């Protein structure tokens, strides 16, 4: 990939990678840092990466950086100190999107990541498996369980659909 | 109907104790017919922390830890189908059957609506500073990434170029004095040793990328050096501008032609050039004539204090020889440490062109 192609990647994919990360960690500054790191990694290797596979590379690198980040954050912020994510809470939501985001935030990291890759980017199970290093079956299991949990969350809040 | 496409959902429902006795029989028959999936099934149960006390193919409900029936088995089957339906993985026949069922079941319709609503929607946020991610294509890699592109000698050339450019533009003259060799090599080595601080490098590039692309390179170097924080400024200074009181004897055009002996710390240090199919290396590389002997050199890693030299330790010295080096182009063999803890490092590489020009 040339420098020019790399810059096209920035224009084309930076927002998507940013949204993917942001959905998973809900921290603007950290998401920005992760995106910066991700693109820096790609730049270092840009001559070895084909332009066609740049998006896949970006999401793979972003996912790994995300995992590193969440692990470090767990270390820094032990579970008891972390904000509780309850299935039942009294927050008022203005629309379904907010509810789904809240539900998403209750999921384990892996489920959250595969669901966002599926829903935001439309990746196939196979693609998600390549990005996350999970088997296709595991991806399907995570998506199924995650989807059911979100559905359960929505129904518990008695939202009229 | 269970198939090789949806069996994993049956595994999940089995683990969650959502299968009816009849469905367990279907699953059992399926596993018998698809023996290659039996191990996956067992792995899945293990991962789900389900003890199999009996033959797993008996699928005895009593052997499961989870005994709570979350929902009737029929409903679980419907949810499974709805999930496949919303994921677009349900077969044609099953889709027709489900749609027919949906038309008659408000409960199922509600479940479908919930499932469809359980999709994550994109936000409107955009990455706030794409410009900071972009690259100019100018190699300032002596401070960046994998040291792959610009060697210390290229940095030297930049200094030379800077002085030359400033002189030509009637800017304050920068005198490049004559004192080649060791000290400069050591400075570059120190810089590279210290440059594990990637944030400093990223900051440097960020500063660099913020400058107008039509700004003369020499001015950009000066700007970055002055605009960056002390961390970066020191790095830049060490690498280049602080060396202005030293002579850099390498005219730019000659940079790519030889491993410059004047930068070699000891006379016996010579980079061995191993030529292998240079045409395959791409235009960036400019192979030089192989040296007659592949002479090992003593790296004397005393300053690193490491018994086992890392590649970076070797590179930090070698990079000053003017070659653009990469692991794949190099071969390093180390001896065992001697009594003083020093090792001999046999380093073989192609000498390649140092790239520093603006693309």
Determine the 3-state secondary structure of A32 from DSSP: helix
Are B166 and B186 in the same domain? yes
Percent of chain B scoring above 70 in pLDDT: 30
Residue A132 pLDDT > 80, yes or no? yes
Distance CA A47, CA A6 (A): 10
Are B102 and B208 in the same domain? no
Are B31 and B112 in the same domain? yes
Region of B173 please: left (phi>0), alpha (psi -120 to 50) or beta.
Answer: beta
Domain contains B236: yes
Burial class (CB in 10 A: 0-12, 13-18, 19+), B178: exposed
Chain B nearest-CA distance from A138, in A, is 9
Q: In sequence order, what E strands does A38-153 have?
A: none
Distance CA B340, CA B359 (A): 47
Are B237 and B290 in the same domain? no
pLDDT band at B90 (very low <50, low <70, confident <90, very high): confident
Q: Please give the mean pLDDT across all residues of chain B.
A: 50
Residue B166 pLDDT > 60, yes or no? no
Chain B residues in contact with A34 (beta carbon < 8 A): none
Query: What pLDDT, on the 0 to 100 scale, is given for residue B266?
Result: 23
- Cβ(B318)–Cβ(B347) under 8 Å? yes
Q: pLDDT tens for residues A61-76?
A: 999 889 888 877 765 5
Are B88 and B16 in the same domain? yes
Are B41 and B58 in the same domain? yes
Determine the 3-state secondary structure of A1 from DSSP: coil
Residue B88's domain comprises 7-117
Tokens of B169: 């533009």
- B103 to chain A, any CB pair closer than 8 A? The answer is no
Do B130 and A101 count as a contact with CB atoms less than 8 A apart? no
Domain contains B356: no
Are B199 and B291 in the same domain? no
Distance CA A143, CA A109 (A): 12
Domain contains B288: yes
pLDDT band at B182 (very low <50, low <70, confident <90, very high): very low
A94 vs A148, which has greater pLDDT? A148
Chain B residues in contact with A15 (beta carbon < 8 A): 125-127
Domain contains B139: yes
Are B111 and B17 in the same domain? yes
Do B146 and A104 count as a contact with CB atoms less than 8 A apart? no
Place of tokens 């800077």: B162
Nearest to B134 among A10, A144, A150 (CB): A10
Do A3 and B137 count as a contact with CB atoms less than 8 A apart? yes
- Cβ(B125)–Cβ(B102) under 8 Å? no
Are B140 and B218 in the same domain? yes
Are B216 and B267 in the same domain? no
Domain contains B1: no
Distance CA B199, CA B232 (A): 9
Chain B nearest-CA distance from A3, in A, is 5
Q: Which is it for strands B330-334 and B272-273: parallel, antiparallel or unpaired?
A: unpaired
In this prediction the ipTM stands at 0.83
Q: pLDDT tens for residues B30-47?
A: 887 877 787 778 777 776
Chosen for mutation from A3, A111, A135 (greatest number of chain B CBs closer than 10 Å) is: A3
- Cβ(A66)–Cβ(A86) under 8 Å? no
Distance CA A87, CA A150 (A): 10
Biggest CA pair distance of chain B: 92
Are B233 and B302 in the same domain? no
Chain B residues in contact with A154 (beta carbon < 8 A): 114, 117-118
Do A116 and B202 count as a contact with CB atoms less than 8 A apart? no
Segment 7-46 of chain B within 8 Å of chain A by CB: 8-9, 11-12, 40, 44
Distance CA B264, CA B67 (A): 75
Q: For B1-6, what is the mean pLDDT?
A: 80
Domain contains B232: yes
Are B51 and B164 in the same domain? no
When divided into structural domains, chain B yields a total of 3
CATH of domain A87-161: 1.10.10.10
Within chain A, all domains assigned CATH 1.10.10.10 are found at 87-161
Distance CA A151, CA B117 (A): 8
Q: pLDDT tens for residues A75-95?
A: 554 444 444 444 444 455 557
Question: Where is the domain boundary, B199, B233, B254?
Answer: B254
Is the CATH number of domain A1-82 3.40.50.720?
no
Domain contains B209: yes
């Amino acid at each position: 990939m040339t420098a020019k192609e790399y810059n096209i990647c920035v224009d084309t994919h930076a927002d998507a990678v940013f949204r993917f990360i942001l959905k998973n960690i809900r921290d603007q500054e950290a998401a920005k840092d992760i995106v910066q790191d991700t693109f820096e990694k790609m730049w270092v290797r840009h001559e070895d990466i084909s332009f066609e596979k740049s998006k896949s590379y970006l999401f793979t690198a972003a996912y790994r950086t995300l995992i590193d980040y969440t692990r470090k954050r767990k270390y820094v912020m032990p579970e008891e100190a972390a904000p509780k994510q309850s299935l039942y809470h009294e927050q008022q939501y203005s629309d379904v999107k907010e509810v789904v985001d809240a539900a998403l935030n209750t999921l384990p990291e892996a489920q959250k990541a595969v669901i966002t890759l599926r829903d935001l980017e439309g990746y196939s199970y196979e693609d998600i498996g390549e990005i996350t290093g999970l088997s296709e079956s595991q991806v399907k299991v995570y998506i199924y369980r995650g989807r059911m949990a979100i559905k359960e969350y929505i129904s518990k809040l008695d939202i009229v659909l | 109907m269970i198939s090789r496409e949806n069996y994993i959902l049956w595994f999940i429902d089995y683990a969650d104790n959502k299968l009816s006795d009849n469905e367990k029989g279907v699953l059992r028959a399926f596993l018998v017919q698809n023996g290659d999936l039996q191990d996956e099934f067992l792995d899945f149960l293990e991962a789900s922390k389900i003890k199999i006390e009996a033959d797993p193919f008996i699928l005895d409900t009593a052997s499961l830890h989870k005994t709570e029936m979350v929902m009737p088995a029929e409903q679980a089957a419907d949810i499974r189908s709805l999930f496949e339906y919303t994921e677009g993985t349900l077969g044609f026949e099953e889709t027709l059957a489900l749609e027919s069922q949906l038309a008659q079941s408000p409960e199922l319709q509600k479940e479908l609506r919930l499932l469809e609503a359980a999709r994550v929607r994109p936000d409107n946020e955009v990455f706030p500073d794409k410009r900071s991610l972009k690259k100019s294509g100018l190699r300032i890699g002596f401070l960046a990434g994998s040291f792959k592109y610009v060697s210390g000698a290229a940095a030297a050339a930049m200094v030379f170029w800077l002085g030359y450019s400033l002189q030509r533009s009637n800017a304050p003259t920068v005198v490049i004095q004559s004192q080649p060799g060791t000290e400069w090599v050591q400075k570059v080595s120190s810089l590279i040793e210290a440059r594990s601080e990637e944030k400093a490098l990223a900051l440097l590039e960020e500063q660099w990328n913020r400058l107008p692309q039509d700004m003369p390179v020499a001015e950009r170097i000066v700007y970055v050096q002055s605009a960056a924080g002390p961390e970066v400024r020191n790095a830049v200074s060490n690498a280049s501008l602080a060396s202005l009181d030293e002579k850099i004897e390498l005219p730019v055009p000659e940079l790519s032609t030889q491993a410059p002996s004047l930068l070699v710390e000891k006379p016996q240090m010579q980079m061995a050039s191993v030529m292998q199919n240079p045409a395959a290396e791409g235009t960036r590389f400019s192979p030089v004539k192989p040296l007659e002997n592949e002479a090992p050199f003593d790296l004397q890693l005393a300053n690193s204090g490491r018994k086992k030299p890392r590649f970076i330790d070797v590179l930090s010295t070698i990079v000053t020889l003017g070659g653009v080096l990469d692991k794949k182009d190099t071969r390093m063999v180390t001896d065992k440490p001697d009594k003083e803890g020093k090792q001999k490092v046999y380093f073989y590489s192609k000498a390649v062109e140092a790239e520093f020009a603006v693309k």
